[in-house]
């Protein structure tokens, strides 16, 4: 389940339990993880990937190039590369990195990445108290990866949740941003809990205690998309997940994502995906 090179410190695990198409519509799921003690001047990229990843630097120095900017990254720092971004990272010649990494994706993953990036002025580079702590957790994932059982899969993803939870707790604690009272955080929480109901932006704004127009502006500023688009994406991704994972009738799936009848759901789904729900199921269900 992992590749081990001549250097025993360089190990990698890539999840093989879940098809990539199903990963992208999961809530939050591991893609890969690993540990690498880089050779002098090692460089990777420029490359774009379909999943988010975070590197935790235990020792050494190097640089990250992303969004036409270059960041120096050193011991007890981490760098984040969101899905879809083109990046290049290069280890120092004199003191190359020793780092561990974790890659992940899913509907909720974008929110976690945004929360982490907003806790740092540099966005893509953050300080961490002890990068070796994260290496130890990632080593647990690798050690469990020899077991192909469902129990092992659940334990591995449990470690991933622990890593991101620990990281969010550490970074936000030292940040001036208060996410517990963030308007966007409240709105996201409400949509995540009520996407299966026929909710509107006015309902979300009422929950957050602000005017709908103000919600739209601040949500777009903090999350990069409008609340309407976030809700649309959430409903579509949940519907895709149900179409692939179940044999439920179209009207039941529509009801499960907040539509009163199959026709209105089908129109919505086709508008967003260019496919009818039935055709999507036929094309992607294995």
Q: Read off the pLDDT of residues 75-104 as tens digits, 9 standing for 90 and up.
A: 999 999 998 889 999 999 999 999 999 999
Give pLDDT, residue 14: 86
- Higher-pLDDT residue of 81 and 172 is 81
Which residues fall within 8 angstroms of residue 187, CB to CB, at 6 or more apart? Answer: 204, 205, 207, 208, 215, 219, 227, 230
Q: What would you measure as the largest C-alpha separation in the chain, in angstroms?
A: 64
Least confident of 23-27, 190-194, 241-245: 23-27
Over residues 117-148, the pLDDT tens digits come to 878 888 899 999 999 999 999 999 999 988 87
pLDDT level of residue 109 (50, 70, 90 thresholds): confident
Residue whose entry in the numeric block shows the structure tokens 């059982």: 149
Question: How many Cβ atoms are within 10 Å of 76's Cβ, its own excluded?
Answer: 15
Lookup: tokens for 130: 């002890």
Task: Classify residue 239 as exposed, middle or buried by CB count within 10 Å of its CB (0-12, 13-18, 19+).
Answer: buried
End-to-end CA distance of the chain: 23
pLDDT level of residue 170 (50, 70, 90 thresholds): confident
State how far the Cα of 270 lies from the Cα of 220, in Å rounded to an integer: 25
Over residues 29-71, the pLDDT tens digits come to 899 999 999 999 999 989 989 899 999 999 999 999 998 899 9
- HEC profile of 18-35: CCHHHHCCCCCEEEEEEE
Give pLDDT, residue 152: 86
Give pLDDT, residue 89: 97
pLDDT level of residue 269 (50, 70, 90 thresholds): very high
Which residues fall within 8 angstroms of residue 263, CB to CB, at 6 or more apart? Answer: none
Give pLDDT, residue 8: 58
Lookup: tokens for 168: 């969010």
pLDDT level of residue 6 (50, 70, 90 thresholds): very low
Give pLDDT, residue 159: 94
pLDDT(154) > 70? yes
- Higher-pLDDT residue of 124 and 109 is 124
Give the helix ranges, DSSP H, for the chain: 20-23, 109-118, 131-144, 150-173, 183-194, 201-208, 212-223, 227-245, 250-256, 262-273, 277-284
**3-class secondary-structure state, position 173:** helix
Instruction: Tell me what percent of the residues of the chain surpass a pLDDT of 70.
Output: 91
Which residues fall within 8 angstroms of residue 254, CB to CB, at 6 or more apart? Answer: 239, 260, 261, 262, 264, 265, 266, 277
Find, among 237, 223, 251, 231, the residue nearest to 284 by Cα. Answer: 237
Over residues 176-220, the pLDDT tens digits come to 554 444 788 888 888 988 898 889 999 999 888 888 888 888 888
pLDDT(2) > 50? no
- Are 223 and 7 within 8 A, CB to CB? no
pLDDT level of residue 173 (50, 70, 90 thresholds): low
Find, among 256, 249, 265, 250, the residue nearest to 195 by Cα. Answer: 256
Residues linked to residue 52 through DSSP beta bridges, in sequence order: 104
Give pLDDT, residue 179: 44
The model's pTM: 0.68
Give pLDDT, residue 167: 92
State how far the Cα of 38 lies from the Cα of 17, in Å rounded to an integer: 28
pLDDT(23) > 70? no
């Amino acid at each position: 389940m992992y590749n081990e090179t001549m250097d025993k410190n360089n190990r990698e695990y890539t999840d093989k339990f879940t098809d990539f198409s199903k990963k992208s519509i999961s809530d939050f799921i591991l893609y890969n993880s690993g540990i690498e003690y880089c050779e002098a001047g090692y460089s990777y990229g420029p490359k774009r990937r379909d999943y988010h990843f975070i590197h935790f630097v235990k020792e050494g120095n190097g640089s990250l190039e992303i969004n036409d900017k270059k960041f120096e990254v050193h011991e007890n720092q981490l760098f984040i590369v969101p899905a879809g971004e083109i990046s290049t990272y290069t280890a120092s010649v004199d003191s190359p990195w020793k780092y561990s990494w974790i890659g992940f994706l899913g509907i909720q993953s974008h929110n976690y990445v945004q929360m982490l990036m907003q806790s740092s002025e540099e966005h893509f580079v953050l300080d961490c108290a002890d990068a070796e702590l994260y290496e130890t957790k990632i080593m647990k994932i690798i050690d469990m990866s020899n077991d192909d059982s469902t129990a092992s899969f659940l334990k591995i993803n449990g470690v991933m949740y622990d890593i991101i939870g620990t990281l969010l707790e550490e970074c936000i604690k030292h940040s001036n941003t208060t996410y517990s009272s963030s308007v966007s955080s409240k709105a996201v929480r409400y949509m995540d809990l009520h996407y299966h109901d026929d909710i509107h932006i006015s309902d979300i704004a009422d929950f957050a205690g602000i005017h709908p127009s103000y919600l739209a502006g601040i949500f777009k500023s903090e999350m990069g998309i409008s609340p309407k688009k976030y809700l649309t994406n959430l409903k579509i991704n949940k519907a895709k997940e149900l179409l692939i994972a179940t044999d439920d009738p179209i009207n039941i799936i529509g009801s499960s994502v907040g539509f009163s009848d199959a026709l209105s759901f089908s129109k919505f789904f086709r508008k967003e995906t260019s496919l009818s729900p039935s055709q999507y199921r036929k094309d992607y269900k294995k």
